[in-house]
Structure 1
Amino acid sequence: MTELGKSAPSIQDEKESFAHEEGVQPSLAPLPTEVHKPRVEGGDKAAEVLAEVTERVVVTPEENRRILRMVDLHVLPVMLLVYFLQQLDKSSLSYTSVFGIVEEANLVGSEYSWLSSIVYVAQLVFQPLSSYGIVRLPVGKWIFFNALCWGATVAASAAARNFAGLLTARLFLGIFEATIAPSFIAITQMWWRRREQTYRTAAWNASNGVCAVFGSLVSYGIGHIKNENLRPYQGIFLFCGCLTVALTPLVWFFLPDSPATAKFLKGNDRVLALERLRDNNMGTESKVWKWDQFWEAFRDLKTYLWFSMLFLAACPSGGIGAFGALIIQGFGFDSFESILFNMPFGVLTVVAIFVGAWLCNKIKLRFPVIILLCLFPIAGSTAMLKLGRGSEYRGKLLACYYVLSVMGGIQPMLYAWAPLNACGHTKKVTTTAVFFVAQCVGNIVGPQVYKTNMKPRYTPGLVTDLVCWIVLAVLAGFTGLYLHYLNRRQAAKRLRKGKTAAVVDTSILSIEEAARAREINEKAGETNDQAFDDLTDFQNEDFVYVL
């Protein structure tokens, strides 16, 4: 057997070779009618549909685009709505911070910080239940139940007038919100190709930035209401919670549970929607919990790399998310100015998310984009630590604060990157759970390094965040190298089984590019026959890791 370095050319070399391939047309040559049948028992839900197909299905570029448009129209809008409502409700505490909640509720010491952290303590504790619910229950109905409950919880927060009442409400908010991001990652994986997942993950994460603009405007308006019986912070809680309760029925009626059961897919479209995901080698979903996949996730170094990177991204996000308006207020602005000046932060976050997603798909690599996104908050926080807090520095400080907004693009890129590199439904869900445990821990720690008595400089918090971004950039580079090594190991496995070592990962190519590359792979005998067997990435030698 030849040396691994010689037998398996790098994936980047393969892509470059494919990019310069000339004269290859996406003709759909007849394929054998003898096709590999996915395992139905204990396998992927897609296997139940595809088991009835007697011939291999070839999805043309035109059909691929048509199905993609249908999925985007029926699935994505509901996801955008739910994630927007979640961010609005979770961020409501930040909006109330400049409208007297600290004084009105007699919060002292680190009590305000704990009102932010307790949400993530609850998410941390309930993450295992959330993961089990995603596997065992219809995901659309599971999301509806939790969204309705957290909306009612936020509305009820208006009745809380002290630390104990607010802490209890925030605890239940965290319990019900625990499932949303992990569920959305599972939904994104079951509906879109890996290239498409980057943009869709960016889209629902961008709701965070939209929420910052909308929430600031609403809070600005409510803050002007003069009512002795309803304080501004209570009005903000009441509005946000009632809005969620009013809109959640849309989730029940419009969010499908899976491609295998979606009502908007008629006739052969269901088969096409599933078959177009074959290139992912990740399947869609399985309702069988597999303990061997669960334990494999904890034997996988990648799991701990994702954990570390998301913690390092979430820690600054949690602190600045809770104290953002107070940080601006510390520059010398009043309550209403602080709320309004927080709006551009949300707009810039949305820009950073979509530019990051575009770059990822442009260069077909994730880790350099994450490193690039880390450089901006490193620069912004360093400048904020150096500048004074006199009135003459207000403009410069605000500009530096806006540079920090690029950090909003880091977590969505990690959300998109990590799930692309694990398969087997139980392993995917377990990896995602570990991933969000890290986010919870980061968001618990983040607000604790900021204290209300540290204003206006908040030096310990900014120093902590600066260290996190530097270490995150280093880890992202290491993870890219490790995934490159794993691809070489996968190539060696394919060789040992008599397959072609060098294959093109069609799941990260455009529809037209994928059609040409798929024909090249099929001529070499690579047809991703195990894509819906619910195998892990360690078990499926056809799986290609995304750098």
Structure 2
Amino acid sequence: MEVGQTKEALEPIHLEDQSQTPASKPHTEDVVSEEERQRILRKIDLRVVPILAVLYLLSFLDRGSIGNANVLGLSADLGLVGNQYNWALTIFFFPYSFMEPFCNLLLVKFSPSRWLPSIMVFWGIATTLTGIVHNYSGLLAARFFLGMTEAGLFPGIAFYMSLWYPRENAQFRLAMVFASASMAGAFSGLLAYLIDKMDGVGGLEGWRWIFILEGILTVVVAVFAYFLVMDEPATAKFLTDREKLVLRKLLNEGSVESNTESANNPTLGQKGEKKSSYAWKAFTDWQTIFHAINYWGMATAVYALSLFLPTIINGLGYTAQIAQLLTIPVYAASTIFTLVVGYYADKTGKRGIFAMGCYIAVFVGFLIAVAPSNFIPGLSYAGCFIAACGMYPSIPCLLALASNNYAPHTKRAVGMAIQIGFGTMGGAAAANFYKKTDAPRYRLGHSLVLTFASLGLLTVVGYYLLCRKINKKRDALGPEARILTEKEVLELGDKAPSFRYKL
């Protein structure tokens, strides 16, 4: 059976207790059933996924709430003119993108249970302080520090999930976490609608209370996160010794690390990994440019929608309050599609195919919004609706591909951080796509997102074809050509002849 085929996950595996000495080890093998696999994965789902989803929901809520606040009067009250609001959006992405590769190295150094809640405290403070700024300079400073402090979360989550889930089970769990981003969009509209009723309380405008209340909520949740985020399976108290052994086997199936000392216990601090060497390999790997560009194309669309959807709907002729409410169906539908696509991508193992399908949906959605010669508000709304149902499910697809196809762990951590960091610069671009002068059609903004989506689609197709070609070449080598020493396997990582890229 080839590495990466989903059928592996359906066949019983044979487990040998690593704690036994060769002299005492019995000849009979302990068979692990599919039922036991699923029971262990469900147990992890209940302890790992919910807290990560809450963390990411709050991060997306905090960074995107500026769009809701602007509709409710942020620009007018701060006296923003020209493109100042767009620059306030843009500045968030510079520290965010620059810091992401370094943040994953810090996560490995300090451990997830300390790192993730700590950065959450700081970005919660930055969000709260945004609610008390009084001028353009203050807004720029608040957004800059928000980007710096949020930088470690998403790449950290994407890498952290790879420590808990086998390759064939990764995307649905990532989808469950990322679905919280689209849920954040729905919540932000509803919360903005409700919080705006506090206008005048404490002498503050309603939009200020959006930042203050959401920031305080983030800090409170961060305190609980210190007790809820665990480091890795090897130290998880909720798993029995046998469950840890079974999970270790599941994580090693189809992994180039499976026959190495470091991989027998895949932890954050793998013995034998030269971290600086693998970090450099991630920067120079041919995959990295593909992962960065395909994520860039989709991140542009995601940020364009999350930052400007209330503004776009407001331009269709609805009041600011109704525009907040009309964002909810868009995000609710995209949440459902994110989970459905994630489930079937894991079930079939065809991550690349689903990523292409998502890109096509985004392409069609923005084409509908921009193509008609006459402005049709309902059609523009429908186009955004369709695009959202493609863009949010695509992110777990693209991240799961990178998670599956980088090896070993340090290279994966850095490679995924580069992917997300470079890709997130699409948000900096998207922050300047939609301007007041283009309302209500925003034809330029829609056209630019359409261009980025086209580039991303071409990159995904190219990556799929290259990976398939490499897999076929490695198949042709024959089993005798795949015998390597443990040291060679670890050094080669995803370049090992036995490694198969997920498609």
Decide: shared fold, TM above 0.5: yes
| Structure 1 pair 122–389 and aligned structure 2 pair: CA distance change class (3 A) | farther
Higher mean C-alpha deviation, range 71-80 or range 483-492: 483-492
Higher mean C-alpha deviation, range 56-65 or range 167-176: 56-65
Q: Which residue of 2 aligns with 1:294?
A: 279
Equivalent pair of 1:387/1:397 in contact (CA under 8 Å): no
CA apart distance, 1:333? 0.9
* Separation (CA, whole Å) in 1 of partners of 2:310 and 2:118: 31
Deviation string 1:197-254 (CA, Å, 9 cap, x unpaired) is 1100000000011111111111101112231611011010011101111111221111
Larger relative contact order, structure 1 or 2 (CA cutoff 8 Å, min sep 6): 1
Q: Which amino acid aligns with 2:247?
A: A
Structure 1 residue 303 corresponds to structure 2 residue 288: yes
| Structure 1 pair 53–209 and aligned structure 2 pair: CA distance change class (3 A) | farther
* Separation (CA, whole Å) in 1 of partners of 2:156 and 2:478: 32
Q: Which residue of 2 aligns with 1:161?
A: 134
From 117, 121, 129, give the equivalent of 2:102: 129
Deviation string 1:80-132 (CA, Å, 9 cap, x unpaired) is 11111111111111110210001011112222112222221111222243022
Equivalent pair of 1:303/1:431 in contact (CA under 8 Å): yes
Q: Which residue of 1 aligns with 2:244?
A: 270
Q: Which residue of 2 aligns with 1:22?
A: none
* Separation (CA, whole Å) in 2 of partners of 1:339 and 1:498: 57
Name the SS for the 1:408 alignment partner.
helix
Name the SS for the 2:470 alignment partner.
helix
Q: Which residue of 1 aligns with 2:212?
A: 238
- List aligned pairs for 1:118-197, cutoff 5 A: 118-197=91-170
Name the SS for the 1:221 alignment partner.
helix
Structure 1 residue 404 corresponds to structure 2 residue 387: yes
* Separation (CA, whole Å) in 2 of partners of 1:28 and 1:72: 21
From 48, 52, 55, give the equivalent of 1:82: 55
* Separation (CA, whole Å) in 2 of partners of 1:494 and 1:87: 47
* Separation (CA, whole Å) in 1 of partners of 2:36 and 2:142: 48
Deviation string 1:355-376 (CA, Å, 9 cap, x unpaired) is 3223323432122212211222
Q: Which residue of 2 aligns with 1:515?
A: none
Q: Which amino acid aligns with 1:463?
A: S
| Structure 1 pair 175–289 and aligned structure 2 pair: CA distance change class (3 A) | farther
Q: Which residue of 2 aligns with 1:537?
A: 493
Q: Which residue of 2 aligns with 1:354?
A: 339
Deviation string 1:327-361 (CA, Å, 9 cap, x unpaired) is 11111111011101111111121122123223323
From 315, 323, 327, give the equivalent of 1:330: 315
* Separation (CA, whole Å) in 2 of partners of 1:493 and 1:90: 49
Q: Which residue of 2 aligns with 1:462?
A: 446
Structure 1 residue 221 corresponds to structure 2 residue 205: no
Structure 1 residue 486 corresponds to structure 2 residue 486: no
* Separation (CA, whole Å) in 1 of partners of 2:383 and 2:73: 26
Q: Which amino acid aligns with 1:285?
A: T
Q: Which amino acid aligns with 1:105?
A: L
CA apart distance, 1:52? 6.9
Structure 2: segments with no counterpart, 5+ residues: 258-262
* Separation (CA, whole Å) in 2 of partners of 1:84 and 1:221: 18
| Structure 1 pair 531–480 and aligned structure 2 pair: CA distance change class (3 A) | farther
CA apart distance, 1:297? 2.0
Equivalent pair of 1:374/1:469 in contact (CA under 8 Å): yes
Higher mean C-alpha deviation, range 62-71 or range 427-436: 62-71
| Structure 1 pair 382–531 and aligned structure 2 pair: CA distance change class (3 A) | farther
Q: Which amino acid aligns with 1:304?
A: I
Q: Which amino acid aligns with 1:429?
A: A
Q: Which amino acid aligns with 1:242?
A: I
| Structure 1 pair 104–73 and aligned structure 2 pair: CA distance change class (3 A) | same
Q: Which amino acid aligns with 1:497?
A: A
| Structure 1 pair 290–349 and aligned structure 2 pair: CA distance change class (3 A) | same
* Separation (CA, whole Å) in 1 of partners of 2:338 and 2:165: 18
* Separation (CA, whole Å) in 1 of partners of 2:186 and 2:489: 44
CA apart distance, 1:289? 5.0
CA apart distance, 1:138? 0.9
Equivalent pair of 1:59/1:275 in contact (CA under 8 Å): no
CA apart distance, 1:539? 4.8
Equivalent pair of 2:172/2:345 in contact (CA under 8 Å): no
Name the SS for the 2:235 alignment partner.
coil
Structure 1 residue 69 corresponds to structure 2 residue 69: no
From 376, 389, 395, give the equivalent of 2:378: 395
Q: Which amino acid aligns with 2:219?
A: V
Q: Which amino acid aligns with 1:336?
A: Q
| Structure 1 pair 74–358 and aligned structure 2 pair: CA distance change class (3 A) | closer
| Structure 1 pair 358–266 and aligned structure 2 pair: CA distance change class (3 A) | closer
| Structure 1 pair 52–311 and aligned structure 2 pair: CA distance change class (3 A) | farther
Equivalent pair of 2:185/2:306 in contact (CA under 8 Å): no
| Structure 1 pair 324–496 and aligned structure 2 pair: CA distance change class (3 A) | same
* Separation (CA, whole Å) in 2 of partners of 1:345 and 1:478: 30
Equivalent pair of 1:530/1:540 in contact (CA under 8 Å): no
Q: Which residue of 2 aligns with 1:445?
A: 429
* Separation (CA, whole Å) in 2 of partners of 1:382 and 1:152: 40
| Structure 1 pair 27–322 and aligned structure 2 pair: CA distance change class (3 A) | closer
Equivalent pair of 1:278/1:531 in contact (CA under 8 Å): no
* Separation (CA, whole Å) in 2 of partners of 1:235 and 1:486: 54
Structure 1: segments with no counterpart, 5+ residues: 1-8, 20-24, 36-49, 500-527
Equivalent pair of 1:417/1:546 in contact (CA under 8 Å): yes
Q: Which amino acid aligns with 1:419?
A: S
From 408, 412, 421, give the equivalent of 2:405: 421
CA apart distance, 1:484? 0.9
Deviation string 1:422-456 (CA, Å, 9 cap, x unpaired) is 11122111211210222221111111222233211
Higher mean C-alpha deviation, range 86-95 or range 288-297: 288-297
Q: Which amino acid aligns with 1:479?
A: Y
Q: Which residue of 2 aligns with 1:116?
A: 89
Q: Which residue of 2 aligns with 1:5?
A: none
* Separation (CA, whole Å) in 2 of partners of 1:219 and 1:411: 26
- List aligned pairs for 1:246-257, cutoff 5 A: 246-257=220-231
Structure 1 residue 367 corresponds to structure 2 residue 323: no
Q: Which amino acid aligns with 2:253?
A: D
* Separation (CA, whole Å) in 2 of partners of 1:242 and 1:28: 47
| Structure 1 pair 192–11 and aligned structure 2 pair: CA distance change class (3 A) | closer
Equivalent pair of 1:131/1:182 in contact (CA under 8 Å): yes
Q: Which residue of 2 aligns with 1:94?
A: 67
Name the SS for the 1:161 alignment partner.
coil
How does the TM-score come out when normalised to structure 1? Answer: 0.82
Q: Which amino acid aligns with 1:473?
A: L
Equivalent pair of 2:232/2:268 in contact (CA under 8 Å): no
